[in-house]
Each structure stands twice: as structure tokens, then as C-alpha cells.
Structure 1
Amino acid sequence: MKSTEAYSHFNRQEWSALAKPKQAALSKQEIELMQGIDQIISPDEVTDIYLPLSHMLYIQMTHSMNLHHEMNLFLNRTTKKVPFVIGIAGSVSVGKSTTARLIQALISQWPTKPKVDLVTTDGFLLPNATLNARNLMKKKGFPESYDIERLIHFLTDLKSGSAYMEVPMYSHLTYDRLQNEVQKVEEPDVVIVEGINVLQVNKKKSNIPEVFVSDFFDYSIYVDADEMNIKQWYIERFKLLQNTAFQDPSSYFHRYRDLSPTEAVAFATDIWNTVNKVNLEKNIKPTKYRANMILKKGPGHRVSDIQIKKT
């Protein structure tokens, strides 16, 4: 049986027809605040794709809450409902972060007005000093570059109902974990966990239990696109950053600010081919069919197809 046979398929038109007329949309200003440096979100993308997605997630969470209530009745116990956790995976430059921010904003408008936290796994990358000591800087983003044990502990606390947790934070400017800053996660109703590694299976280590990040998800989404498009988005983003963030002397990539357009494309292409392409093909793309939903993007980061795992 092919993996795709386990999914129901919707094209853009079929999916957009599922939008409910009374659903709250985002304002133009709200949409602009969520856009990535290289990604423009059109209002129709929100209406056609993300509103139906938000409604479907609301159904999933409502089902989870009802099941929790029924189990309390069956077990004759009163236990607090733990957060509903959504995982978002996909390649570098595919637009996971923007997708996560859109979903976070729309979930916050649900009738129950839930508290929604967004956690990225970038904060769980090992510090650069550790990566250098282990000769892993050229494999940053690969499974071995993450503190998976700490990530698993955070998710365990989250699903145990802990009222307060701290998550390490990462700076894309300095390209390193922040030393003295943490993200505080306090009694959330919904937590979105976004990162390239969230659907990956750990390599067995003696100090890490045989448990995976995705074991803690109530729903998971893989953001997909043809590699040709992702590569182009990566190169375009590098060129944009060269003229913005890289100009900052504190930027890790400040040394590349004066590359000529030809040199910039060549440099970004080399990074893609030697690092990101390898990671995508070896570690990220094989996890696609572990997701409950696959969002397939085409040119302009516009979603063209949606696959939902059959239940």
C-alpha cells in the first residue's frame, strides 16, 4: 500500500470550499506582522487555506476535550486537561514559521479564546561552543545537533500538566542559543511546536528513553514543497538577509554582507547542496508521512494541495 493511499486529498478549490462564512479572519495589519522576510501572505491564502485548517483543528481539540471528560467519568477521577499540542515540521525555508504564526493567531480567535504558545525547536539546538567542540557546526540542523533529551523533558512536563516551564531561546542574528534568555510557558491551552526535527525518530542513546517528540503531539502538520522551489526560496532569503540582517556587525553572517550578487547566489547554493539538501533528503523528507496533515506549497508559498490522514 502506498503512503499516499492513507490520506484524503483536497486541491485548493476543494479545501477553500470548507471555510465557514462566520469564521473570524485576520486583519491586513495582523497578516503583515506575521509575514516572513521572504514570504508575502495574501488575504485569500488566510481565507482559503488557514481558516478551514483552523476550524479542523478546533474540531480536533473539541474531540480531545470531550474524550478527556468521558475518561474522567469512566475512571471516576477529576484530572486537569493537559495542553493540546500541534507539531509543525518541514524543510528549512519552506515557511514553517509563518504557517505556525498564522495558526497561532487563528486559534487564539476560537470561541474558547485559548491561550496559545508557540515554541520553536531552534532553542534546543546545542550551543555553538558545544557544536564546535564536537565538530558539528557543518551539521547544524541535523538530528545530532539538538539537545533532544531536553526537548523530550520539556514535552513530558507539558503533557504532565506542569503550570510553568522554561524553554531555551535562539537568535538567528548571532546564530546561537541565547545564554540568559528563556521563553516562559505558563498554563497554555494550546502549544504549537515548530521545527525541522519534530517528526524525526531519535537514534537510540542510553540516556534517552525510547520516546519520540511526535509522541506528545495531538496533531501534526508537514509543510511540503518541491525541492526546486525550496532551494530557490532559500537562495532568495539569503540575498534578502545579506542586505538586511547581515549588515548588523553582531550578525554571525556579517562577513558575507559584501558578496556580489553572483557570489551570494553561488555561496547560498553551495550551502544548500552540501548541508540543507542532505538534511532534507536524509532526515526531514522521510518523516513526511508520519504527519496527520501535509500542506503542499507551490510558487509564491501558496498552498496548492492538502492531504489529511484517514481516521
Structure 2
Amino acid sequence: MIGTWTADDAARVLRLPTARDDKYSRGVVGFRTGSDEYPGAAVLGVEAAWRTGAGMVRYLGPAFARELVLRRRPETVTVEGRAQAWVVGSGTPAPAAEHETDAALRALLAGAVPVVVDAGALEAAVRATAPRVVTPHDREHAQLRRALGLAPADDGQREASALETAAALEAVVVLKGARTVVASPSGWARIVDSGTPWLATAGTGDVLAGVIGAVVAGAAASGAGADDRALGTDELAALAATGAWVHGRAGTAAAAGRGPSGGPITALDVAEALPGVVAQALAG
């Protein structure tokens, strides 16, 4: 029986800043997201990372997406530099090997820094060696399993399928849905059900990727890996589950403000609810 990731679990993972912290020790998240076709994905992920508590957010992407990011979040850094976690793929087409940005993507996926892999970069994660958290929805999960040579997933066995994918990929899988499944290659798995059906709207996956990126970067910057080593896959899974819990609770909070049964929300509504959710979790 797979357990549920709770508010108490999330509170133990989230990090409260101290007087000794600076922007680097709180975690730097790098983004290679967005495209000319889908520039908003870059805005949403960056917004989410800032509002989850990142010390710095670095955005490297197409000029138009960069312009939109800076209009929304002028504190974002848009030059090359270090990061403790990267978010890639949101709002991008599947990579073409000859393209310059794809060379940069391949370098990240072959590096030592944790990478949150979403949307257009998911198939590139199959050949990667970096510590990874992949964030597919069910249709993307089916494509990922085909790329791994796995049999089609049984809709009634999402937990088992996510665990099998994680083992084959040697990475953490966040299988998005009404009940999100987080699975590690070791067999560690949890259910995250803090969300609401109102989250089924465009852009909320981009927000989720940004939240997870911020949580991972904060942990990596603070040396949260056991014995000061790099984060292991089970540690990454706990961080990813915490990001998914925060994202779900933010969606629930945003929808609850619309009426007794909730109401329609947008992805930015979810991002704007994130600080309150993080603060409440830490206070609890």
C-alpha cells in the first residue's frame, strides 16, 4: 500500500530561511523553458519558483519569452551562471539535435546538477544521466514508456506503472493527475492528493515544474543530501512530492476563494497562492 504525502511531510522538507542565508544559499533555479510558440510557459514557471521561495531565478530562453519574464518578474537574472537545479522543457517543442538550445539541454541532462524535466524535453530524459525529476501527465507517460521500450501502462495501475518507469529511467517520476504519483527507482512511492479538479487547466503543469525546481534548488543549496553528498533519488523524490503537495494545496486555496464548491482558476492564480501555502506549512 502506497502512503500519502501529507502537510507534515511537506513541512519537514520545506526550509525556513535564517539570518545567515543569502540569495545563493536559499537556492538558485535555472530555467531553459518557453518558446516563440509558447512563451507563457516560461513566465509561469519562473513566477512559481520565485513565489515558492527561491533565492534567485535564472532564465535562459528565447528573446520574446525573456522579455515577457522580465516584464512580469524584473528581478529575474537572464545571463549564464550557476544554479542548484534546472527546469527544462516546459513550453518547448521536442528537441532537434542540430539546434543550439538543444546542445545546451543535452549538456544539462549530462551534468551533475538536478534537472526537472517537463513536456518537450521528456523524451530527451531517456538518454540522460543527470539526477532527474520527470513530470509527465498520463499521455506523456505513455510516450515516455514507449521510448523506454516498456509495455503500455494499465490505467488502473498508475502507481505500479510509475514505479516501473522510474526504475527503467533511473529517475524520479511525478505522474500528474487528480492523484499524483511520485515514484523513485528504489521503489519509494507516495500519493499526493492535495489538489482540486479545478487545477485541470492550461499552464498549471508549468507552475508545478517551477515549484519543484525551487524546492530542489533550496535543498541542494543547503547541503541537504545525506553526509553532504549530492541528493539521492529518494531524497529527490521527497522534494518532488513536497513540490507537488505545495502546488496542489495552492490550487485548492485559489479555487476555494471562488465559492463553497470552489471555482475556475488560472495558472497564475495558483502561482499567486504559493507564498501563503508555504508559510502555512512552515508555521504548522
Is the TM value for this pair above 0.5? no
- Taking CA–CA contacts closer than 8 Å with sequence separation of 6 or more, which of the two structures ends up with the larger relative contact order? 1
TM-score, with normalisation over the residues of structure 1? 0.29
More strand by share: 1
TM-score, with normalisation over the residues of structure 2? 0.31
Larger Rg: 1
